[in-house]
Structure 1
Amino acid sequence: MRHSIKLYILTAVVCIIALAIVQFFLIYNTYQLLDSRFNYVEKGRIGEAYNLAIANDKLFPGGQPLLDSIIVPQYPYLEQLYHTNPKSFDTAAQRLVNRIIRELVQHENTDSMLKAIKASDGIKDSLLFALCIHRLDLRFKDSPYVNIYNRFKKYPLIPASRQKDIGLYICGNLQQLSENSSASSLVANSPLPYSYSLSFSFYADPYNRRTLVLQQMKYTILPGLLTLLAVITLFGITLFKWIRQKHLSDMKSDFINNITHEFNTPITAIIVANKNIQNEKTLENKQSVTALSEIIHRQAERLKLLVEKVINIAATEKLALRITTTDLNELISGILAVYSLNTMKQAIRFNFHSSGDPAMIETDTFHFTTLLQNILDNAVKYNDQVQKEITITTRQLKDTVELIIQDNGIGMNSITLRHIFEKFYRHQPHLSKPTKGLGLGLYYVKQCIDAHGWTIKVTSEPGAGSTFIITIPSKI
């Protein structure tokens, strides 16, 4: 049954995880689609203003004079290399591109230009921007344009761009560049014999672009998340109720099995007492007959109670208690008298040290009897001594009574101590004789203790016996 529960939980968890993954990919793909189609409404105005700002310039205000001062002096040298040594031309061209980038990065004023555009156009959004060069060509006398940089190529001497296929990053704080974030893309060239052609783009996006895209997806995200949450919640509630119901059902079955097992005690006592009564010598002793008759009467009553308890437990989910005020010492004495009779053929010595004065407690005598008998059964069962010895002590404290049961059995290790009150758990020591049982005795003891609101403590060491200490509120 435990394996089936684990399999059910594992299967449900895997299905929920699979559903979550499917939901994630659906939302992610929707986000990617909307992000690729996202179009900033102010981008057109920004692009127009940018084009006006560099109408007679390149890249940014003052960009063309800077480029001219770098490129124009290099024309004769580069032209000679182009015609005589193509390999050296490529190296020189790459070094020229690197120098252009360094100078542009050092002297760019794009940020101040963008602030002026926003102020003049009344744009109050916080913007991210970027300025990139895509292509650079040189033109010599009597020759077509010669490409010295192309964003789709890799160059040994030119550092790779931040983003693939974007180009040379000049300035800005916009990291992810795409076509729909481009505010302006220009190609500047000249028909003069010695000139250069420059392709570049200016990108602009709101800083909260991701938030804006997610806002567009709110009617996709919210239903998906709510559906997933509902599935997880329903699974949790169903699993909790199922486990709780199973626990209650198991508890009921365990109690029935345990109490049914206890039928053997009164039946054995009745059989033994009846056999003794049939003895001629016993019949001659009126006092012995009376004592044996009382034992038969008490055990018959106990048998009747057992039947009633089985019926009650089968009809209820809780351990029902019938509380009465009882003298603990008298109750234990009666239990020991019957138990001694049932185990008279075994070498067991019982020592009972009472507190002297009556120790009045509130308890269900039936369940208490079963509780104590279960502890005594374990003390006898897990004992390899020739002379088994069990000592029961009651000690009156201020507001409580302590019931202490000690034995000289085989004892328990720390692992066993952690599990002795678990249902179906059975200690498997090396004994001269195999032990029988359902592993329900001490589980039932713990249920009785909890139902009464008492506490129980167990101390034990292998080979040194065990001690059970039950603390019971006294009724003074």
Structure 2
Amino acid sequence: MTIKSSAIRIATIFSAILIALIVIVQVIWLKRVYQLEQREFNARILNTIKGIYEATGEKLYTTAPHLSDLVSNPEPFVYFAKISLPANTKQIEAKLKEGLIDYNVFTLCQAAIYEAASNKNIYEHVIPSANSMYKTGKKFPVTTQPYDHLTLYFPNRNKYILSQMNFWVISSFSLLFILVMFSIGLYLLFRQKFLNEIQKDFIHNFTHEFKTPVAVLTLASEVLNKEDILSKPGKLKTYAGIVSDQTHYLKDHLEKLITLAATDAVGIKLNRESLSLHVIIQKALDNLQPLIDEKKAAIRTEFMPGSDRVPADKDYLKIVLINLIDNALKNAQQPQVLIRTMAGKESIAFSVSDNGSGIEKKHLKKIFKKFYRVKNEETYNSKGLGIGLSFVKEIVAAHGGTIHAKSIPGQGSTFTVSLPVY
């Protein structure tokens, strides 16, 4: 089973959307549960007040068509119940306690009887709840109304309702936590499989890249070991050249792997100095001269006028140029390479353009990933170990610069590197 990076991205996005939807549903559901608990609390208090009316034989209750005509609830935590004075406070207190217990209202209740004629509370009493974890609040101020009434005040109402929802809240967050952990685990699993496939692909490429030169060297050594080889100088020179070419090929790939391993272990350590960019470009071309001659490549340079000084590590900068020019030479039948330098306000840039087969747009952002190879024999990274451009990007980033690629399939590509000059 092949897992692509796009599959990991889709799985991650799908998981994120799923979690978001579940969170939305959970929030809506908890809100409805909260509203239901509010209605339930309100019903319990009304039933408690109804019990007080029935126990005291309240005249107003016997004549009122509905309980709602006698009880008002201007604030969620305050209830006003009309009563006739004088009132039996002991009976009201006893029935209030009994009702709160019977209807499982285990939260602080502050009760008072307000006399409209004197505009004050003539009776005040606090009924704490043994099950309440909240401290008893201060006495509430006089609540004026144009009629005599019993006031019931529940200062911890909201906290009490939320405590009644503990099971649902804990269940919701537990479910959410499980989903998040599952999604993270799924993402890590897909990512690990993806990395394993990249590693397998790298090993396969590594084996493929080394298998051919080793086979050629084996064959060449057999020919060179023949007794009559000295009598055939032309053949001797040919096979000696083959051995030399394949040895350099293997050396080049091994150096890339060693350099990559070293930078992965300790990071890129730069030895910056003021360099002439044009001189470094020329040195890179000199290093690649055998390949340029072999490919019969046409190399053209367009150097900017003025200062070409850049603070950089000369060895690493040359590696960047060699990699980019080497790619340009190898990816065209008759290479035509243009190397340009450009000056910016606080930067200096250079570009390497070729007339190769180009790179499809979907691959452009991925070609700088380690071990990534475009699955096409005529494009970049189709040969090699897939570490060149990745290493180039690391070097450029270590210098505080940027690299980007433009390409038109069938026409060629341009790689542009910009480096700060400060």
Q: TM-score, normalised by structure 1?
A: 0.45
